Amino acid sequence: MREITIFSGSAHVELAREICHHLEVPLSPTTIRRFGNDCLHVQLNANCRESDVFLIQPLVPPVQDHLMELLLMLDAARGASAARTTAVIPYYAYARSDKKDASRISIAGRLVADLLATAGANRVLVMTLHASQVHGFFSVPTDHLNALNVLAQHFRNRDLSNTVVVSPDLGNAKAASHFARLLKVPVAAGSKRRVDDNKVIIDTIVGDVEGRDVIVIDDEIANGGTIIEILDRLRERNVRRISVACTHGVFSGKAIERLGSQEDIDEIVATNTVPIPEEKYLPNMTVISMAPLLSETIRRIHNGESVSSLFADA
């Protein structure tokens, strides 16, 4: 393969530029527009014949438009005789649809994975899937990254002697345990029941958090309901310093308003896998760039080097 060629959809051009800066390659231009009948038109405006092509597009709102852009870019790269095409999806929104938990519904996480392969993806690169089993939905080689080392590095510069990592639910407890091992602190988890998409109930917390500093970690924060609920339970146990961390800061609906009203949150830490507009920034919010990790992963994929070694416990 001759060289790395990188294109971006319209979902997160800023992240794509950062990745290209770290790789010291140009971001190749893309034209995306709509026809009069509302159909999308996508054109890759750089030669990619026999190139190792990477298409960067998180599935952020409007999710359907950005998904369709990615599918059209994949098909365009295949038609342009790319040697290999990798879909780089920092946020795979449909990972939350990972099981059939009601009658006559689609397992959309698997369906979208099939669409990506059909459209021309030879490889997929994703970050922190909502459920690890979604990795198995992809029929092409898939690299599943996580942000735990990056987030842990952020917290290592503080006194952690009285700190506990808290997972809002048992489903995220494995990732929280890994995060706690990186920080060399204990872990606790909430027992959560989801009533509907906007409401959850956390009955109790498993683990000792009484009078401790806590870092609440989740894979994503959407409307913020789960975080608010776990904070209510933690306050009942007289916790002290409260920090909240996540990989995907979606912050939909009234999430920012809800989080902003929690005056005892010391810090909210997210990554830039999802673009966070300025109007959603809170005074206590820190956004960590994932461009160094994503660019190094792209470099290793291109050179045929190990990706898993990036995630050895540090």
**pLDDT digits 0-9 by tens, 132-187:** 889 999 999 999 999 999 999 999 999 999 999 999 998 889 999 999 999 999 99
pLDDT for the residue 311? 79
Instruction: Using the predicted structure, report yes or no on whether residue 281 has a pLDDT greater than 80.
Output: yes
Catalytic residues, by residue number, are 192
Average pLDDT, the chain: 94
Q: What is the pLDDT of residues 194-247, one digit of tens each?
A: 766 667 788 889 999 999 999 999 999 999 999 999 999 999 999 999 999 999
Q: What is the pLDDT of residues 282-301, one digit of tens each?
A: 999 999 999 999 999 999 99
Kindly state the average pLDDT of the residues 3-30: 98
pLDDT for the residue 52? 97
Ramachandran category for residue 238: left, alpha or beta (phi over 0 → left; psi -120 to 50 → alpha): left
Using CA atoms, how far apart are residues 41 and 75, in angstroms rounded to an integer?
12
* CA distances for 196 relative to 103, 193, 206, 225, 268, angstroms: 16, 9, 23, 11, 25
Using CA atoms, how far apart are residues 35 and 41, in angstroms rounded to an integer?
7
Kindly state the average pLDDT of the residues 111-118: 98
Residues in the chain: 314
In SS3 terms, 282-312 reads as CCCEEEECCHHHHHHHHHHHHHCCCCHHHHC
Q: Say if residues 183 and 314 touch (Cβ distance below 8 Å).
A: no
pLDDT for the residue 5? 98
Q: Say if residues 272 and 281 touch (Cβ distance below 8 Å).
A: no
Neighbours of 198 (CB within 10 A): 12
Q: Say if residues 98 and 109 touch (Cβ distance below 8 Å).
A: yes
